Amino acid sequence: MASRILALVGDCYGARGGIARYNQDLFESLADGDVEILILPRLGDATGLALPRGIRQAAAIFNRLGFSIAAFVAAWRFRPVDVVFCGHVFMAPLAFAIARLLGARYWVQTHGTEVWNDQRNLTRRLIEAADMVSTVSRETRRILLTWVDLPADRVRVLPDTVQDVFTPGPPRPGFRESLDLGPGPVLLTVARLSASERYKGHEPVFSVLQALREQFPDLTHVVAGDGDDRARLEAVAAKLAPGAVKFLGYVPDADLPDLYRTADLYVMPSTDEGFGIVYLEAAACGLRVVGGRGGGTADAIPDERVGAIVDPADRKALLSTIVGLLGQGRADPTAVEPYRRLHFAAAARALYARLVAQPRRKKSGI
């Protein structure tokens, strides 16, 4: 019988965002003839989607109590379960209880701020109970190990991966024209415009655009993404850099490679990024990138072939970094080859093999 994973996640297929994409990449790397995965999401609608072989996704249930009940029912029907995967620490109490009930191994995935900031005693104990913890960056792993009592070899780094559609080349004919951009350089930021994620660094970039336009009069900053902070950011941009910022709103995944290929530099001086998959996507399309000092950005921008890391509070340094990288031409896409799907899949399978080699837990009476 195939090995079985019950995955409790915030979102996966039919949802947007970096974590949803990470979950998809992870499960597709693990699912084959020997592994079956049942995904239980809080968000996302996979109706009508052709999911890869070995993967099923239940209907999303946002209500906490309804989700918990549905998870126990699904777990019981899906037996025998070898691994309960917890895609976010807020689901750890439920994932731990189901793992104990079924005698399954318990895998906790961490991304960044959710374990940097939530250091409650209950969270700590639920992470320490895991048979394996995976993180997306070395920095997340380092911070986690400062406040949880876990053997270092039980906490493994499995960084984001960049999909094969992100490659260098020109955008498709007519794409740049459809954005109504001027002839000057294009700075690009792709990120949620959320009040809870102001660390992404939109405003520091807005603050140096007037100075940049003194050197590049037709420069445009293109902002892709939507969220509850968009209206405020539009007002800030209009005040700091009138006419210099173009907000695109949500951009479908299918258009992202062309959007990256249209730009001249990717700028997102984020200070709290768990990893920053957008840096990889941009670099894989040939864009140099500007990231912010802090978080897991150093994993996504490993060296000068990809770009540079700067403190966004230092406006002079941010300005000079942007000017300098605009003068260096395209990035070397081979720098992100270690993050391609082939390498990610091999690493994910090795982690899973290590996990299932551990003895099953004794079933609890929970």
| Orientation of helix 92-102 relative to helix 64-77, angle to 10° | 20
In a domain, 365, yes or no: no
Q: What is the pLDDT of residue 33?
A: 65
Question: 317 and 190, same structural domain?
Answer: yes
Task: With CA atoms as reference, report the closest residue to 86 among 76, 196, 77, 75.
Answer: 75
pLDDT digits 0-9 by tens, 108-154: 999 887 877 777 889 999 999 999 999 998 988 999 999 999 999 99
Question: 231 and 99, same structural domain?
Answer: no
If one counts the domains in the chain, the total is: 2
Contact in structure between 305 and 339 (CB atoms under 8 Å): no
Question: 348 and 329, same structural domain?
Answer: no
Four-residue CA torsion sign, 294, 295, 297, 303: positive
In a domain, 366, yes or no: no
Q: What is the pLDDT of residue 344?
A: 94
Q: What is the pLDDT of residue 297?
A: 86
Instruction: Residue count of the chain, please give it.
Output: 366
Question: 26 and 127, same structural domain?
Answer: yes
The C-alpha atoms of residue 170 and residue 176 are separated, in whole angstroms, by: 10
| 194 contact partners, CB below 8 Å, separation of at least 6 | 227, 228, 229
Question: 63 and 194, same structural domain?
Answer: no
CATH number at residue 268: 3.40.50.2000
In a domain, 167, yes or no: no
Q: What is the pLDDT of residue 366?
A: 44
Site of tokens 């700067």: 310
Question: 345 and 314, same structural domain?
Answer: no
In a domain, 364, yes or no: no
Strands (E), the chain: 3-11, 35-43, 55-57, 83-86, 105-110, 132-135, 155-157, 186-190, 220-224, 245-249, 265-268, 289-292, 307-310
Calculate what percentage of the chain has a pLDDT beyond 90: 80
Residue 270 three-state SS: coil
Tokens, residue 362: 């004794």
pLDDT by residue, tens only, the chain of 366 residues: 689 999 999 999 999 888 999 999 999 999 976 899 999 999 999 999 999 999 999 999 999 999 999 999 999 999 999 999 999 999 999 999 999 999 999 999 998 878 777 778 899 999 999 999 999 989 889 999 999 999 999 999 999 999 999 999 999 999 999 999 989 999 999 999 999 999 999 999 999 999 999 999 999 999 999 999 999 999 999 999 999 999 999 999 999 999 999 999 999 999 988 888 899 999 999 999 999 998 888 888 878 888 999 999 999 999 999 999 999 988 888 888 999 999 999 999 999 999 999 988 776 644
Beta bridge partners of 32: 35
Continuous H helices in 241-340: 256-262, 277-284, 297-300, 315-326
Question: 50 and 155, same structural domain?
Answer: yes
Domain carrying residue 215: 175-337
Question: 14 and 151, same structural domain?
Answer: yes
Continuous H helices in 2-120: 18-30, 64-77, 92-102, 113-116
Question: 122 and 208, same structural domain?
Answer: no
pTM, entire model: 0.87
The single-letter code of the amino acid at 70 is A
Question: 155 and 47, same structural domain?
Answer: yes
